[in-house]
């Protein structure tokens, strides 16, 4: 069992500020290629950032990157590659390792190599939000198919939109504390090292929704 607690904004602010500083360096570096906006998502957005105060480990952040490429000058591969190359120029300044390129995100980590621990990490997703003709919100993400060594824009699955609608229902009915309690329980009892916070958040939201709204 772990000893995770919720990190209040004051505790996580220094790390969050470093991430913002890093992003701004990348914005400046890429300005001749394209501009982009960013938005903190995941645990930070929902005030569910956890850490272990005994070791000061466990912080994780999710950030969406929104490139302005309306004329589609760059392919999905070019966009993600440009981001990775640019981040790699500045990660060491903040103690991060070089980028890890996974299927859906770019991950950077600060590691305690002596104790083989990740102190904190950031997952960057390259995304595009748009609205269809009926004014429904859609989101697509740059996806890296490792098996085929190909990159393409992939529409988020239906479960992604259900996740956000369930969050709205839970909040509207004053049930967010149930989410916080169950999520922290799951974090502290997670024995699967490959199960990330993102998966635990989804599990938590689905369980709370089913408990309160499903017949």
120-165 pLDDT, tens digit each: 899 999 999 999 999 999 999 999 999 999 999 999 999 999 999 9
Residue 187 pLDDT exceeds 70: yes
What 8-state DSSP symbol labels residue 168?
H
What's the confidence (pLDDT) of residue 3?
86
- Pairing type for strands 59-67 and 117-131 reads parallel
User: How far, in Å, are 45, 128, 136, 172 from residue 141 at the CA level?
Assistant: 19, 6, 17, 28
Mean pLDDT on 106-119: 83
Residue 71 banded pLDDT, cuts 50, 70, 90: confident
- 15-29, 42-56, 60-74: lowest mean pLDDT where? 42-56
- The pLDDT of residue 51 is 86
Cβ of 63: how many Cβ atoms within 10 Å? 22
Counting residues of the chain whose pLDDT is more than 90, the rounded percentage is 77
Long-range Cβ contact pairs of 154-161 (< 8 A, separation 24 or more): 159/202, 161/137
How many Cβ atoms from other residues are within 10 Å of residue 17's Cβ?
10
Ordered domains of the chain (ranges, CATH): 5-156 (3.30.460.90), 157-215 (no CATH)
């Amino acid at each position: 069992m772990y000893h995770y607690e919720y990190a209040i904004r004051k505790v996580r602010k220094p790390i969050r500020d470093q991430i913002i500083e890093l992003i701004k360096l990348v914005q400046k570096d890429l300005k001749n290629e394209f501009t982009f906006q960013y938005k903190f998502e995941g645990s930070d957005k929902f005030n569910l950032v956890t850490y272990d105060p005994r070791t000061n480990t466990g912080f994780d952040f999710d950030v969406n990157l929104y490139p302005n490429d309306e004329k589609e000058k760059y392919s999905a591969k070019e966009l993600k590659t440009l981001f990775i190359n640019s981040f790699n120029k500045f990660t060491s300044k903040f103690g991060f390792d070089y980028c890890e390129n996974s299927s859906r995100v770019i991950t950077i980590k600060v590691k305690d190599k002596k104790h083989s621990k990740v102190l904190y990490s950031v997952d960057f997703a390259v995304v595009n939000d748009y609205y269809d003709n009926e004014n429904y919100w859609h989101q697509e993400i740059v996806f890296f198919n490792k098996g085929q060594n190909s990159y393409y824009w992939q529409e988020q699955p239906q479960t992604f939109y259900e996740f956000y609608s369930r969050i709205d229902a839970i909040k509207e009915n004053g049930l967010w504390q149930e989410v916080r309690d169950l999520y922290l329980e799951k974090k502290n009892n997670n024995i699967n090292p490959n199960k990330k916070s993102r998966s635990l958040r989804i599990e938590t939201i689905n369980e709370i929704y089913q408990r309160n709204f499903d017949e």
